[in-house]
Amino acid sequence: MQQSKKLFRDVLIFLFGVAGIGWFFYSFQNHHPFTITHTKVPKGHIIEKADSVFQSWQYQALDFYPQTEFNTEEDVIDSLQVKWGISEFKNKLRESEFLQNLPLAKWEVREYNLQSENNDYSVEVGLTPDGKVVDFLATTELINQQRPFNRYAVRTVFQNQVDNYSRGLEDSLLTGLSDYQHLNTESGSNSQALTIIERLREIRGMQDERVYEMNNIWNLADFYLGRTAWRSMDLQQDTAELVDQAGLRFARATYSASDSATGVNVELTMELLPAGSMKSMSYRIYPRIEESSSKVTDILEGTSLFVILVFALWLLFVFYLRIKARAIDTKPAIIIAVLAGFLVPGFWLLNFIDQMGWMYGFNGSVTIFQNLMMLGIMGAIGAVGFFVLTAVSDSITRQYWPEKLKTWDLVRRGLFMNKPVGWGMVNAIAIGGILVGIVGLFLSMFDTTYISANTGLMSDDYFLPSIANLMVTTLFVLVIVVPLYLIIGNQIKGMVGRDWIIPIVSAVLFALIDLLPFNIEPDELDRLLRGVLGFVLGYFYLRYDFLTIVFGAFLFVNFLTTSNGWLLEGSPDANTFYMFMMVLLTFAVGGIYFVFKGTERDELPEYVPGYIEDQAKEQRLKQELSIARVVQQTFLPSKIHHLPGIDIAGICIPAQETGGDYYDMISLGDQRTALAIGDVSGKGIRAAFYMTFTKGVLHSLSALILSPVELLNQLNRLFNENATRGTFISMIYGILEADKRQFTFARAGHNPMLVVRANGDTEWLKPNGVGIGVAQKAEAFIKCTEEATLKLKEGDVVIMYTDGITEMLNAGNHFYGEERLERLVKGVRKASSEKIMEIIVDDVNEFKGVVKQHDDMTLLIIKADASVNQ
């Protein structure tokens, strides 16, 4: 029943997504300003048209590399949308001939001279979507290089003004005017030009030089006006003037037109060279939106930058902590890092090829090297950035919400043919459709909203725009979804324990930070729309896993970035849209096929990251070591065997969970006890095992063998038979007799025993002895080991210890030492054995300071005190 309800909800959401896609296509075209125009001339033909204009205006063809860009008069369009609204704006555009003749959209073709030393363009031609000229610019460098003239323009201006106009006169006039237009011309050419102009003045019988110049300026301007898109407009002559600038002499003529019905004004300016060539033609259409920014917007933008900076620093800090804790799964992080390492330089390369061209980009070896270096740097930065992002997100998500990565784990292991992946693709279509449907619904609900006309074409910025679009949107979605949901969302969930906070946080961040490749105006409604989209996407994150959200956001973003491919008739971005439609169809077909034919979720293997397995192993090891420590502690004496008149204390502090130090007290009757202290070579589990073995042997033999040397000899034999070569034990073993106040012992290579008499005298007892496991034969062990007897008097103190006490190192790399131990015990000899032991341990720890304990510490203290145990 539960599965049926879930299936019904998913199908219902999918239908809402399909409805959202349909509504988006219907409403978006009604609100997008790109639908007011269409490109009748293909992009490739536009370049040919620009070349023909350049040459027909009598400039010489050079080795040019063209760069094309489609632009709109965004300020004008946005102003009219604000004034009338998009619907009324389109109505007036259909009704007003004046608005129809306005170049609200144009192609800009820039021609770069490959022979030029700098990277600036030499000529720019603006063409309407149907190929008519609207503006023009030839740089001063090009004019000085070519010294252009236009015979047809000069002939049109002068042949009706001069009787007996001939080709010879025309040639002389062109020569003189060409020299006249260059202020730095030498050899008296300017005077020649003036002579020709004086001759023309005499032929026409005109005395007013300015009248003559103004008439010819307007005639020349009208010559070019009739060859542009402006000929359809009723332009009025405004002003004309002569200008000397940057070594050139030229005329500037200005036309204007206005439409009272729409309130739109046009100003057209031409700059004309004396020899008849066009220097530049530019225009201005107004009213325009004045760029303004409210204080609230400025504060929000500043806050968003601050949030991004804080997040970046926090991300690096978390990455450091998780690397230190070995809580990073490098496998998925490396996959995304490699992907980003190719995608980031990939779309930069496509942009470079489009902007500069293969030929222009490889104009020199330095340029090649610089661009290759830049691509390499961008790839490295992208790979490292995405590695950190993915590593932290994977670690946090597996800690707080590992279910969100199940489908991703399947995909990156190559397991595509299964129902979870299929439903992820189907649900992604639903998510993307619902989000774009919200965009369309939002535009329809608020009359004051409009889409700005500043949206550019992918084909203007990238070579192979359909591929570049997929690369850019993939990176864009990963940069948004991974930190927002896998890092911030899951971290908040882990901190507060409430997953419903994630959609709220998502809405706030979407509204605060511009996280979408699409904007509407005004800014307040744009932030409201982004907040709604963020909330909905956050809600879907609660229902679905990470990969579904990534797929859904990817489809949503592509619906927006490819919209220019179908909104603009004849758009160069059409292939970008078609490519996305193929991706969408692949999602639909593949998702449905996987749902019906794929493997069930229950039959799929679970993925456990390597670091989690390592952590589990470490946790098990720690538990086992903790158990071993407890067991080992039980092997130490649980209580002191009290002898009359003898005060005994002992302690063992391992450096690790388990250790190789050992001390023991074995009762041999009311007046006798066997005492032992030993140190197994090495530390950890291995040493603890041999310590346990030694304890068993001592407890087995101590009641049977009363001679300490003989007992150690038997221990040495058994140890050699069972221990690996190279392992040995140092030990002091002896029998303490209370009635005789006598301690008979043998020292098997252990630290010397400190005796502090009641009067303060001290001595170090170190009878000969060799460590257990060093001598392989009994004869050698017996020969090297001697037995000694110590007589105790009232107040005498005996200190037995391991080298973890005297060889303790401090921060200055100095040993604690036997001398310090001797001075300390001598000063506190009147205290009880327990108190002396506490003082020694405290003093050693104080000496050690912050340095880690490197060896086990064991003490066994005997004091002759008639007042105890009576």
Q: What is the pLDDT of residue 193?
A: 44
CA distance 340 to 445: 39
Range scoring the smallest mean pLDDT among 233-247, 279-293, 410-424, 442-456: 279-293
Average pLDDT over all residues of the chain: 83
Residue-wise pLDDT tens digits, 83-132: 888 888 888 888 888 888 888 888 898 887 766 555 567 889 999 888 89
Say how many CA atoms lie within 13 Å of 850 toward its Cβ.
Answer: 2
Task: Name the pLDDT band for 355 (thresholds 50, 70, 90).
Answer: low
Dihedral, 716, 722, 725, 727 alpha carbons, nearest 10: -60
Q: What is the pLDDT of residue 86?
A: 82
Say how many CA atoms lie within 13 Å of 266 toward its Cβ.
Answer: 23
Residue-wise pLDDT tens digits, 842-853: 999 999 888 888
Beta bridge partners of 791: 742
Residue 135 has pLDDT above 50, yes or no: yes
Q: What is the pLDDT of residue 533?
A: 95
Residue-wise pLDDT tens digits, 461-471: 888 889 989 99
Task: Name the pLDDT band for 583 (thresholds 50, 70, 90).
Answer: very high
- Among residues 725, 595, 585, 492, the alpha carbon closest in space to that of 7 is found at 595
Say how many CA atoms lie within 13 Å of 503 toward its Cβ.
Answer: 13
Grouping H, G, I as helix, E, B as strand and the rest as coil, residue 790 is: strand
Q: What is the pLDDT of residue 494?
A: 86
Buried b (16+ CB within 10 A) or exposed e, 168-185: ebbebbbbbbbbbbbeeb
CA distance 20 to 27: 10
pTM: 0.73
Alpha carbon separation from 228 to 66, 222, 578, 727 (Å, rounded):
21, 10, 34, 100
Q: What is the pLDDT of residue 196?
A: 47
Tell me, letter by letter, the H, E, C secondary structure of 171-206.
Answer: HHHHHHHHHHCECCCCCCHHHHHHHHHHHHHHHHCC
CA distance 449 to 522: 6
Residue-wise pLDDT tens digits, 157-194: 877 766 677 788 778 778 877 877 887 655 444 444 44
What are the structural domain ranges in the chain? 2-31+292-603, 46-286, 639-864
Instruction: Report the 10 Å Cβ neighbour count for 16.
Output: 15
Residue-wise pLDDT tens digits, 730-789: 999 999 999 899 999 999 999 999 999 999 999 999 999 998 988 888 888 888 899 999
Contact 802, 774 (CB under 8 A): no
- State mean pLDDT over 232-258: 89
Q: What is the percent of the chain where pLDDT is above 70? A: 88
Q: What is the pLDDT of residue 256?
A: 93
- Among residues 35, 10, 13, the alpha carbon closest in space to that of 25 is found at 35
Range scoring the smallest mean pLDDT among 212-216, 273-277, 431-435, 484-488: 212-216
Task: Name the pLDDT band for 841 (thresholds 50, 70, 90).
Answer: very high
Beta bridge partners of 599: 418
The full DSSP string for 676-714 is: EEEEESS-HHHHHHHHHHHHHHHHHHTTT---HHHHHHH
Q: What is the pLDDT of residue 268?
A: 94
Q: What is the pLDDT of residue 783?
A: 87
Residue 22 has pLDDT above 70, yes or no: yes
Give the CATH number of domain 639-864; options: 3.60.40.10, 3.40.50.300, 3.90.950.10, 3.40.30.20: 3.60.40.10
- Among residues 150, 149, 126, the alpha carbon closest in space to that of 136 is found at 126
- Highest mean pLDDT among 159-163, 396-400, 634-638, 832-836 belongs to 832-836
- State mean pLDDT over 644-653: 90
- Among residues 763, 756, 701, the alpha carbon closest in space to that of 733 is found at 701
- State mean pLDDT over 49-69: 82
Gyration radius of the chain's alpha carbons = 46
Residue-wise pLDDT tens digits, 399-453: 889 888 888 888 888 888 888 889 999 999 999 999 999 999 998 888 778 888 8
Total residues found in the chain within this entry: 870
Range scoring the smallest mean pLDDT among 340-349, 367-376, 471-480, 758-767: 367-376
Number of H helices, E strands in the chain: 30, 20
- Among residues 299, 221, 300, 210, the alpha carbon closest in space to that of 254 is found at 221
- State mean pLDDT over 470-484: 90
Residue-wise pLDDT tens digits, 686-700: 777 788 888 888 888
Q: What is the pLDDT of residue 155?
A: 85
Residue 218 has pLDDT above 50, yes or no: yes
CA distance 32 to 679: 85
- State mean pLDDT over 291-310: 76
Q: What is the pLDDT of residue 677?
A: 93
Task: Name the pLDDT band for 621 (thresholds 50, 70, 90).
Answer: low
Q: What is the pLDDT of residue 357?
A: 55
Q: What is the pLDDT of residue 709?
A: 92
CA distance 670 to 865: 17
- State mean pLDDT over 554-572: 88
